[in-house]
C-alpha cells in the first residue's frame, strides 16, 4: 500500500512482508508495480527512471519493462525471456493497493458502505513487529492506561462488558463500557454518562481490522454519530509495521447529515490521536516474543492466540513460486 500522491514521475520502492516492489506510472498515468529486481542482474528497478514511453528502465544496463513486466534488452534486442514479475495495482481511497496479477478487481477493498462519509486517511509507522502491533489493536484492556479520550478510565475497569468470538477466517470482538469525559467527544454529541461501544472484526487477507464505534445514553438511546476505522497492518521489515488508517462517519439523523463532512474530520482527528498514543507506547513492548508461551493471558486476550493461527495459515502462507512470506492476497472485500 502506498498513498497515491507519493507516486509521481519517479519510481518508488515499497517493502512489504520481506519483499520489495518498484511502483511507477506508465505513459497514461496508471500505476503499475514490478518486483524490485531486474531479471538481468537483480539491480533495483526503483533506482531507475520512467521513459517517455512509460517503461521502467533499469539503472544498471538499461533494460526496459512495461506495466505487465514485458522487457527488452537494448544491447541485445533479440534476447528472449526478459520479463520482470508484475503485480496488479488499483488506485482507491487515495491509496495504491497491491495484489497478485490474477486477483480479480471485485476482490479489491471497497471499505465502508454507502451511508458512511469518508473523513480522511493517514499512515503511521510502528517501531515494532507485526505481531506486536496486531496484539495491541486486538484488545482494549490497555485503553485506560495508554489512551486519554476514547473508552473508559482506570476507575471504571470493573464496568466493562466484553465478548470475543473466534471464527475460521476472522475474529470478532465487542466492548461496552462507560465513556470517560473528553472535550473532543462533544463534537460527536457524546455526553456525560454515555456508554462507549467498540465492535470490530479482524481478517488476514491482508491483515486488517474494522472498528465500529458508537455511543448510547445510560438509558440505551443511540447517539447520532457512528464512526468506523479501517486499519491495515503492513509489515515493512521484521522490526517495523506501517498502519494505514481510513476513517468514516455516518448518522441516521437526517437533520445532521449536512454536518457530516465536518464531524467526519473530527472523527478522523480522534482516530489519529488514538493511533498516535499507541505508536508512542509500542516501542516499550517491541521485543515481546512471537510465542505467547509463559504469558498469563486473561479473558481480553482471547483473540490473540487464535489470530496467531490465522495469520500463519492465511497471511504467511508460503507459495511455491515466491519464497518467503507471501504477498497477502486480497480475497474478500466485504467486511474490510
Residues in the chain where the model's pLDDT stays below 70: 318-336
Q: Which pLDDT score is estimated for 183?
A: 85
Dump pLDDT digits (tens) for 277-295. Answer: 999 999 999 999 999 999 9
Distances (CA, A) of 192 to 25, 80, 228, 253: 51, 71, 22, 20
Give the number of other CB atoms < 10 A from CB of residue 326: 18
Q: Which pLDDT score is estimated for 327?
A: 40
**Contact (Cβ atoms closer than 8 angstroms) between residue 51 and residue 60:** no
Distances (CA, A) of 147 to 143, 153, 271, 321: 5, 9, 11, 43
* CA 99 – CA 328 distance, rounded (Å): 7
Name 88's bridge partners: 99
* CA 224 – CA 68 distance, rounded (Å): 48
Instruction: Compute the C-alpha angle 2/148/129, nearest 5°.
Output: 40
Tell which residue, 134, 129, 139, 140, has the closest CA to residue 302: 139
Tell which residue, 179, 176, 218, 234, has the closest CA to residue 200: 176
Q: Which pLDDT score is estimated for 105?
A: 81
* CA 299 – CA 310 distance, rounded (Å): 19
Dump pLDDT digits (tens) for 194-214. Answer: 999 999 999 998 899 999 999
Q: Which pLDDT score is estimated for 322?
A: 41
Look up cell 478510565; give the residue: 153
Q: Which pLDDT score is estimated for 228?
A: 96
pLDDT > 70: what percent of the chain? 94
Dump pLDDT digits (tens) for 50-107. Answer: 999 999 999 999 999 999 999 999 999 999 889 999 999 999 888 899 988 888 887 7
Q: Which pLDDT score is estimated for 335?
A: 31
What pTM does this model have? 0.84
Q: Which pLDDT score is estimated for 316?
A: 84
Q: Which pLDDT score is estimated for 239?
A: 93
Amino acid at each position: 500500500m502506498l498513498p497515491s500522491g507519493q507516486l509521481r514521475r519517479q519510481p518508488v520502492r515499497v517493502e512489504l512482508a520481506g519483499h520489495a516492489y518498484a511502483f511507477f506510472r506508465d505513459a497514461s498515468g496508471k500505476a503499475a508495480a514490478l518486483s524490485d529486481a531486474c531479471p538481468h542482474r537483480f539491480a533495483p528497478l526503483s533506482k531507475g527512471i520512467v521513459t517517455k514511453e512509460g517503461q521502467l528502465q533499469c539503472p544498471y544496463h538499461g533494460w526496459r519493462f512495461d506495466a505487465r513486466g514485458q522487457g527488452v534488452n537494448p544491447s541485445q534486442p533479440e534476447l528472449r525471456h526478459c520479463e520482470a514479475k508484475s503485480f496488479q495495482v488499483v488506485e482507491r481511497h487515495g491509496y495504491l493497493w497491491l495484489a497478485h496479477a490474477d486477483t480479480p478487481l471485485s476482490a479489491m477493498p471497497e471499505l465502508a458502505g454507502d451511508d458512511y462519509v469518508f473523513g480522511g486517511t493517514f499512515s503511521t509507522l510502528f517501531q515494532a513487529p507485526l505481531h506486536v502491533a496486531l496484539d495491541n489493536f486486538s484488545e482494549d484492556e490497555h485503553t485506560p492506561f495508554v489512551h486519554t479520550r476514547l473508552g473508559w478510565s482506570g476507575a471504571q475497569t470493573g464496568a466493562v462488558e466484553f465478548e470475543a468470538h473466534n471464527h475460521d477466517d476472522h475474529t470478532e470482538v465487542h466492548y461496552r463500557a462507560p465513556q470517560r469525559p473528553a472535550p473532543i467527544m462533544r463534537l460527536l454529541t457524546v455526553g456525560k454518562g454515555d456508554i462507549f461501544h467498540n465492535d470490530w472484526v479482524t481478517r488476514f487477507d491482508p491483515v486488517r481490522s474494522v472498528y465500529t464505534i458508537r455511543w448510547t445514553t445510560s438509558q440505551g438511546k443511540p447517539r447520532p454519530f457512528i464512526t468506523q476505522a479501517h486499519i491495515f497492518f503492513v509489515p515493512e521489515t521484521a522490526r517495523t509495521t506501517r498502519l494505514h488508517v481510513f476513517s468514516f462517519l455516518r448518522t441516521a439523523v437526517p437533520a445532521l447529515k449536512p454536518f457530516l463532512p465536518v464531524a467526519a474530520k473530527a472523527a478522523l482527528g480522534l482516530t489519529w490521536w488514538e493511533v498516535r498514543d499507541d505508536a508512542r507506547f509500542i516501542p516499550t513492548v517491541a521485543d515481546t516474543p512471537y510465542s505467547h508461551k509463559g504469558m498469563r493471558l486473561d479473558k481480553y486476550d482471547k483473540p490473540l492466540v487464535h489470530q496467531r493461527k490465522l495469520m500463519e495459515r492465511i497471511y504467511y502462507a508460503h507459495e511455491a513460486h515466491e519464497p518467503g512470506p507471501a504477498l497477502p492476497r486480497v480475497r474478500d472485500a466485504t467486511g474490510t
